[in-house]
Amino acid sequence: MTAKKKKKREGGEFNNGLEPVIYLLPFVIGLLIFTVYPIINVVLMSFKEGYRLSGSFTGIGLKNYTQVLGDKNFANAVRNTFIYVFSVVPIATVLAVIIANLLNQKIKAMALFQTAYFLPMVTSSIAVGLSWRYMFNTQFGVINWLLGVFGAGPIDWLGATGGQAPYNIFVIIIFGIWNMLPFTIILLLSGLQNIDPMYYTAAKVDGADSGMIFRRITVPLLLPTIFLTMIINMISSFKVYNEVIPFWSGKAGALSNNLYTMVYYIKETFYSKLRLGNAAAASIVLFLIIFVFTMLQKWVQKKFDY
């Protein structure tokens, strides 16, 4: 918008009087009650000691934070969440770059392929997760059957032996990658379609082969989109929760606490243990992590003028 035009718009030829209030009222009421107030309140709550559901508390201080940061379950939740984020996002990105490039070719039956690749985006993790749960079954599951065909396995994906459940996290990582692919492919595909075809024409005229075009043109020009997509996916996967629920009927892994994620921890601490102050402190920690990545996202957007 040019400066001149902006000035004209802000002057406004029509006196709207109190009209904006009417249009904004429903929006603002909802915003204040369910977004602004909770944000302020959760910050305050995280400093209130002995805070109860009724609103009473015993003191003010950093006890919630020291308790949460000293909690073994929380440390485990942070560890699991980071392992999840930093394995699911890179793997999903690499796969999505390949698939998006294949889908960007002139191919037949595009609608069919798109439907197949994008379907997991619209379906509930709880429902499809159940199907995955039986696919991961040690004795009867198709995944161990497939491993058996190649002479590997069987792997005790969902179970625990001797107080150890090393394969549990692979279950949610594999499921997480599958869940993340549709969104990632869509974003990368739209990034690919924004690349000026002129570059490809020029490269072909200069006699570049398709491998060279992919490495020298597609990847560099797609890089901003790849970065952004990764950051957005990281932000959303720090909130991993639904992906854990179907496999152990709501428990966090075969040992009931080995697969705590940060959101799982927040929910348990608040909802089952009624330690609201602790849950508030934990959610502030989650927010701070997300905040760092959001700033990174803004920086990338600005740098590449997205």
Partner 1 sequence: MKGDNIKKFFIYFFLALGAIVMVFPFYWMISGALKTAAEYNSYPPVWVPSNWLNFDNFVRAFQKAPFQTYFLNSLLVTLCSVTLTGIVTILGAFAFSRLRFPGRELIFSFLLAFMMVPFEMMVITNYQTVTKMGIINTIPVLIVPFTTSIFYTYILKNFFDTIPDSLYYSARIDGASNWKYLWRIMVPIAKPSLVTIMLLNAISSWNSFLWTSMVINSDKYRTIPLGLFAFMTEGGSDPKLQLAASTVSVLPMIILFLFARKYIVNGVARGGLKG
161 binds partner 1 (CB under 8 A): no
Residues 223, 224, 226: CA angle, nearest 5 degrees:
60
152 binds partner 1 (CB under 8 A): no
Identify the residue among 60, 126, 152, 212 touching partner 1 (CB under 8 A).
126
Task: Give 59's strand partners.
Answer: 49
Identify the residue among 57, 113, 200, 214 touching partner 1 (CB under 8 A).
113
Applying the rule CB under 8 A, the residues between 83 and 112 that interact with partner 1 are 98-99, 102-103, 105, 107, 111-112
Q: State the minimum distance, in angstroms, from the CB of residue 120 to partner 1.
A: 7
Beta-carbon contacts of 157 under 8 Å, excluding residues fewer than 6 positions away, are: 136, 137, 138, 141, 143, 144, 167, 168, 170, 171
Identify the residue among 85, 97, 171, 276 touching partner 1 (CB under 8 A).
276
Tell me the C-alpha distance between 184 and 240, whole Å: 16
Q: In this complex, which beta carbon is closest to partner 1, that of residue 121 or of residue 163?
A: 121
Q: State the minimum distance, in angstroms, from the CB of residue 301 to partner 1.
A: 8
266 binds partner 1 (CB under 8 A): yes
Tell me the C-alpha distance between 72 and 19, whole Å: 54
Residues in the chain: 306
Tell me the C-alpha distance between 18 and 123, whole Å: 43
Applying the rule CB under 8 A, the residues between 190 and 229 that interact with partner 1 are 190, 210, 225, 228-229
Task: Give 18's strand partners.
Answer: none
Tell me the C-alpha distance between 227 and 242, whole Å: 25
Number of C-beta neighbours around residue 63 at 10 A: 17
Q: In this complex, which beta carbon is closest to partner 1, that of residue 145 or of residue 200?
A: 145
Identify the residue among 139, 196, 198, 302 touching partner 1 (CB under 8 A).
139
Number of C-beta neighbours around residue 117 at 10 A: 19
Q: State the minimum distance, in angstroms, from the CB of residue 201 to partner 1.
A: 18
296 binds partner 1 (CB under 8 A): no
29 binds partner 1 (CB under 8 A): yes
42 binds partner 1 (CB under 8 A): yes
Q: State the minimum distance, in angstroms, from the CB of residue 107 to partner 1.
A: 6
Q: State the minimum distance, in angstroms, from the CB of residue 163 to partner 1.
A: 23
Helix (H) or strand (E) run with residue 48 in it: strand 48-49
